[in-house]
Amino acid sequence: MSGKRRAAAIATPAVHVAASARNAGGPGAIARSASVASPRAATSTSGLPLYWKRHTTLAVPSSMSSWFSFLASRGARLDASGVADFGDRAAELAAARDHTVLVDLSHNALLSVTGDDAAAFLHAQFTNDVQSLPVGAAQWNGWCSPKGRLLATLLLLRRADGFLLMLPAEIAGAFAKRLGMFVLRSKVKIADVGESTVRLGFAGKTAGVLVARHFGFTPDPLRSVQKDAATCVALDGERFVILVPMASAPTLWETLAQGATPAGPDAWGWSLIHAGIPVIVGATQEAFVPQMANFELVGGVSFKKGCYPGQEIVARTQYRGSLKRRMAIAHLAGEARPNPGESVYSAAFGDQASGTVANVAPAPGGGYDALVVAQLESLGEGDLRLGSLEGPRLEVRARPYERELPEPLGRA
């Protein structure tokens, strides 16, 4: 172990995580002060997004503190959201593009939904066909408001004893509370199991080969494979989510890290952006009908199932051709990081915003890549600007919706 790594393993400064950021106050979670190593001196920068703040206390569930201590001993730099990076963000992003990265996904919560009525309950709430999902399979799901706007997007895995739901920690507490209001007399239990199960992201060009090497084979998209209590879910051929019991996580991390670059959440976020997978966060709740975010293109919506909140509007949008906004992959040069929820503009719409930033991550080589939901006309023209008509230019690099909508529609 290098001197720097050894010092990180011994050091005990910690980083404060607000309960709202890490959902420490969720079901079954006990907030405690944890000793975790950080190579950087703890500082606080007010006025910046929470992601960039550094403080001196980490309030996390007790069992999670050992996991963060382990990651810190392996070079992780911790901030208010958990792992920020492993010391070289540029190299991590390059590895996400060219090779494979291993990412701690603790910025995502993990909920379990169990009980005799769990399948029927979730089927009646979410956008996808939960009841027909076989054990061991996964699907993208959305949860909508009565107006058909996405409150959350999540990965759902069916197991023999129920379901696991993974979604951003920043909205998970409110999500679980609101979902629980609809349980009523159903035999359904919703619990936070993130304290006992580590979430890992494994992504890149060689990820499938490495998964096969460890788990025995590479599962088909949205199918899973198990080994030694760990479950590997394939999102596609290059992106995998691995769920592993806390006690086994360090050993599995060491094994997978032999063929991959440990990386912070930006590398995982960048990979999801280039897969065209939208992630609803607090700033974008109720901003999009599922089709605006291309959610049906990644298999997140079933148009053959029964009713769910907002279903009538989602179906009308699909069958009456009323969709005027879609999601594209765009690039922004420069060092100023855009935020989800920021408006984008184009000359065709003047001072009226033509769209919204959905997700953002630093891009390999500089600048930022983003998923942007905008008017089809402005996406076709490619003249998007961030924040105002005079703002920095967003270069549209891919339009995943074009295979279904080859010709732009008119304004909303």
Q: Break the chain into its structural domains and give their ranges.
A: 1-87, 88-322, 324-412
Closest among 13, 29, 8, 6 to 106, alpha carbons compared: 29
What does the angle CA 38 – CA 65 – CA 340 come to, to the nearest 5 degrees? 70
**CATH number 2.40.30.110 given to 324-412:** yes
Tokens 């009308």 locate to 316
Query: Looking at the domain 88-322, which fold is it?
Result: Gyrase A; domain 2 (3.30.1360)
- CA 136, chain centre distance (Å): 21
Give the whole-number percent of the chain exceeding pLDDT 90. Answer: 78
Sort 186 into a burial class: Cβ within 10 Å, 0-12 / 13-18 / 19+. Answer: middle
pTM of the model: 0.84
What is the structure's pLDDT at 63?
60
- CA 412, chain centre distance (Å): 29
Average pLDDT over residues 380-400: 95
Q: Counting runs of H as helices and runs of E as strands, what totals does the chain give? A: 11, 21
pLDDT in tens, 331-377: 999 999 999 999 999 999 999 999 999 999 999 999 999 999 999 99
Closest among 228, 325, 274 to 101, alpha carbons compared: 274
Average pLDDT over residues 204-212: 98
pLDDT in tens, 132-169: 999 999 999 999 999 999 999 999 999 999 999 999 99
What is the structure's pLDDT at 249?
98
